[in-house]
Amino acid sequence: MIRLAVVGCGSVVQQYHLPALAELPAFSVVGLADPNLVVLKQMQSRWLVPQAEADYRKLRDLDAVLIASPHALHAAMCDYFLRQDVHVLVEKPMVIREEEAEKLVELANERGKVFAVGVFRRYYPSSQLIRSLIRQNWLGGVVEIDAEEGSPYDWELQSRFLLDRSLAGGGVLIDTGSHLLDRLLWWFPNARVHLESYADDSAGGVEADCEIRLCIQWDAQEIPCHVVLSRTRQLRNTIRLHLRKGWIEIGSNIPNGFCWESSDLVAEESSLSPLWLQCGLPSDTPILPQAYFREQLADFARAIETHEPPLNDAVTNLPAVRLIEQCYACRKPLPEPWNENAAVPQIQPGGIL
Residue after which a domain boundary falls, among 104, 120, 136 = 120
Domain that holds residue 212: 123-333
| 251 and 300 co-located in one domain | yes
In a domain, 249, yes or no: yes
Residues 56-75: tens digit of each pLDDT: 999 999 999 999 999 999 99
49 and 193 share one domain: no
Within-domain flag for 342: no
Give ∠ CA 76-289-156 in degrees, rounded to 5. Answer: 65
Same domain, 257 and 163: yes
Count of structural domains within the chain: 2
Structure confidence at residue 346 (pLDDT): 44
Looking at the structure, do residues 47 and 161 belong to the same domain, yes or no? no
The 10s digit of each residue's pLDDT in 224-256 is 999 999 999 999 999 999 999 999 999 999 888
Query: Picking from 13-17, 29-33, 157-161, which range would have the lowest pLDDT averaged per residue?
Result: 157-161
On whether both 55 and 204 belong to a single domain, the answer is no
User: Considering the chain, what percentage of its residues have pLDDT values greater than 70?
Assistant: 88
* Same domain assignment for residues 217 and 304: yes
pLDDT, position 89 = 98
CATH of the domain at 62: 3.40.50.720
Residues 111 and 158 in one domain: no
115 and 194 together in one domain: no
Q: Are residues 142 and 12 in the same domain?
A: no
Dump pLDDT digits (tens) for 146-169. Answer: 999 999 987 666 667 777 888 889
Asked if residue 259 is part of any domain, the answer here is yes
Return mean pLDDT, the chain: 90
Q: Say whether both 136 and 275 belong to one domain.
A: yes
- For residue 272, what pLDDT is reported? 52
- Judge whether 164 lies within some domain: yes
Last residue of a domain, one of 102, 120, 138: 120
Does 147 reside within a domain? yes
pLDDT digits (tens, 9 = 90+) for 121-150: 999 999 999 999 999 999 999 999 999 999
pLDDT, one tens digit per residue, over 172-190 is: 999 999 999 999 999 999 9
The CATH number of residue 213's host domain is 3.30.360.10
Task: Flag whether 63 is in a domain.
Answer: yes
Q: Is residue 343 part of a domain?
A: no
Residues 290 and 219 occupy one common structural domain: yes
User: Confidence class of residue 53 from pLDDT cuts 50, 70 and 90?
Assistant: very high
End-of-domain residue from the set 105, 120, 135: 120
Residue 229: per-residue pLDDT: 98
The verdict on 187 and 303 lying in the same domain is: yes
246: in domain: yes
